[in-house]
Structure 1
Amino acid sequence: MGIKKIFFVCPYPFDEAPSQRFRFEQYLSILEKAGYKYQLAPFLNLKAWNILYKSGNSIQKLFWIMISFIKRFLLLFQLQSYEFIFIHREASPIGPPFFEWAVRFIWKKKIIYDFDDAIWLEDPSEIGSLKASMKWKSKVKSICKWSYKVSCGNEYLAQFARNFSKQVVLNPTTIDTDYHKELKNSNTRKISIGWTGTHSTLPYLKPLIPVLDKLSLEYDFELLVISNQKPDFAVNCMRFIQWDKSSEIEDLNQINIGVMPLSDDIWSQGKCGFKLLQYMAIKKPVVASPVGVNTKIINESQAGFLAETEKEWIAGISKLLANPELRNDLGNKGRSYIKDYYSVQSNKNTFLSLFG
């Protein structure tokens, strides 16, 4: 029997996007040790990625999008020797699933379809827009039907996929606990309530502003925001750190309390709780909205508090601000839980089973 080969088809350049890094990129060395060969094919190259979400540069953006579609088409002629085609989210961000259809029905390859958000739904900020229609959200159902196996980040996503596929694998987003770990440092700054995420999730943080304003009347703390884009809102106690891969663990370790507010809607139900996993992996206690998998993670780990109302947010954060021993205790519980249930090592066999 020959060596099994996997082609990873993904939206973003290698080692740039959290969804790719924590869904499959951190498993590549494990695949190699298991005897697999692989190749990666991002839709966007690094030049396109660096300008796509910035204002202006419309002609350059159009040029790189056209180049990306041409490369996707040419990729169809490079798949012959590959047994598995692993598609993360989608082969292209707009248009119908022509690539996926060709892979399944022309090349007759085994598609592993992976997603960690409710990507069949329109983004809340784009509902009814031309941009939303161009994304062709209905293709998610078709790709699920065509796939050999569907890899879903949580049970909510898996329930959707089971309507179209009998081979659905609950494959949680995981953390490399050798990389994500607590660092002992001599940071003498005031206590930090921390939030990390991309520009697209920054709006979830806005409703927490009144909570922080009230807490600041009694406690001395800062709001530490780590993101690829500076927030478009102001908080008196906020400190911003530009996300940087080379310093992300050091930056995260400046957080004392991790927060994950979410709106309670069908889009948020599909979230995989990744912010919580990051905080807990480095022994930080958490406070989060009881939405989707957040409830499961906090109830099972006992690493923090669920908060829905303003009163509950104030109560949960206050307990942690006032009690360093409690922060330490809950942080230790969180780290143990991540290692047991949401680490690369604990999920290794599940990931490898996608190719069995």
Structure 2
Amino acid sequence: MIGYEGAKKESSFRPVIPALKRILKEYGDFVRLEFYGYCPEELKGHPNVSHCKHNENYSQFMQRLYRANWDIGLAPMDDDLFYHCKSNVKFRDYASCRIPGIYSLSPIYRDWVFHKKTGYFVPQTEQGWYAGIKELIENPKLRKKISQKAAKAVAKNFTVKQCAENWRALFQGLLDVP
């Protein structure tokens, strides 16, 4: 199962849609796509594609994402200033649910996603997405390695306690400035 959770990102999905169509054609019933929130119009109605609305209740949403047990999570992102100002929340969501993610080469992920270690980086092109998805479909050992290392990174760096300590240190530093 390959999934995406998130808001409408038509421009970010432009290179991903033809890559997913190729994957669906090549792998047939072996592959299913699941979308939470946004689903590209071009994929709606395909027998191997399901779609459900985004759940605004984050706790319920994360429970559903965890139970989804996706083999691969998609995180496409355009390379422009608007997207450079976003957070790495998709990495945190996927990693905490042990979903190996494929991520666009974006500055927001560069501190946390290490290629073939805590995630899989692809160029924001049809061929980049196709090759990345294909490799993760065909390499379950790599998927497992990525999901384990990403989960450890999130558990170490994004607990409430760790985030609170980071905020405290940041504000303490700001308060110390004359």
The bucket for the TM-score relative to the shorter chain is 0.7 to 0.9
Q: Which has the higher helix share?
A: 2
Distance 1:327 1:350, change over 3 A: same
Alpha-carbon deviation of 1:202? 5.3
Give the one of 65, 74, 82 matched to 1:252. 65
Alpha-carbon deviation of 1:196? 0.9
Give the one of 223, 234, 243 matched to 2:54. 243
Name the amino acid aligned to 1:271.
K
| Large movers: runs of 4+ above 4 Å | none
TM-score, reference length from structure 1: 0.42
Greater relative contact order (Cα < 8 A, sep 6+) = 2
Whether contact under 8 Å (1:258, 1:279) holds in the other structure is yes
TM-score, reference length from structure 2: 0.79
Which residue of the partner structure matches residue 328 of structure 1?
Answer: 144
Name the amino acid aligned to 1:299.
F
Gaps of 5+ in 2: none
Alpha-carbon deviation of 1:240? 0.8
Give the one of 135, 141, 144 matched to 1:319. 135
Compute the RMSD of aligned alpha carbons. Answer: 2.3
Matches within 5 A, 1:256-271: 256-271=71-86
Match of 1:196, SS state, is strand
Which residue of the partner structure matches residue 221 of structure 1?
Answer: 31
Which residue of the partner structure matches residue 198 of structure 1?
Answer: 7
Whether contact under 8 Å (1:295, 1:306) holds in the other structure is no
Name the amino acid aligned to 2:4.
W
Per-residue CA distance 1:157-211 (angstroms, 9 max, x = gap)? xxxxxxxxxxxxxxxxxxxxxxxxxxxxxxxxxxx21111134x45533431100
Name the amino acid aligned to 2:113.
I
Which residue of the partner structure matches residue 95 of structure 2?
Answer: 280
Per-residue CA distance 1:2-49 (angstroms, 9 max, x = gap)? xxxxxxxxxxxxxxxxxxxxxxxxxxxxxxxxxxxxxxxxxxxxxxxx
Matches within 5 A, 1:45-60: none
Distance in 1 (alpha carbons) for counterparts of 2:10 and 2:36: 10
Per-residue CA distance 1:249-304 (angstroms, 9 max, x = gap)? 23212122111111111111112121121001111111111011222221288222
Per-residue CA distance 1:213-246 (angstroms, 9 max, x = gap)? 111222221221112xx54613123211222226
Gaps of 5+ in 1: 1-191
Distance in 1 (alpha carbons) for counterparts of 2:91 and 2:16: 16
Taking only the aligned residue pairs, the percentage that are identical comes to: 22
Distance in 1 (alpha carbons) for counterparts of 2:162 and 2:116: 15
Match of 1:334, SS state, is helix
Distance in 2 (alpha carbons) for counterparts of 1:310 and 1:193: 16
Give the one of 105, 108, 111 matched to 1:296. 111
Distance 1:344 1:202, change over 3 A: farther
Whether contact under 8 Å (1:301, 1:334) holds in the other structure is no
Matches within 5 A, 1:1-356: 192-199=1-8, 201=9, 203-219=11-27, 220-227=30-37, 231=39, 233-235=41-43, 236=46, 237-244=48-55, 245=57, 247-253=60-66, 254=68, 255-299=70-114, 302-308=117-123, 309-353=125-169, 354=171
- Bigger Rg, which one: 1
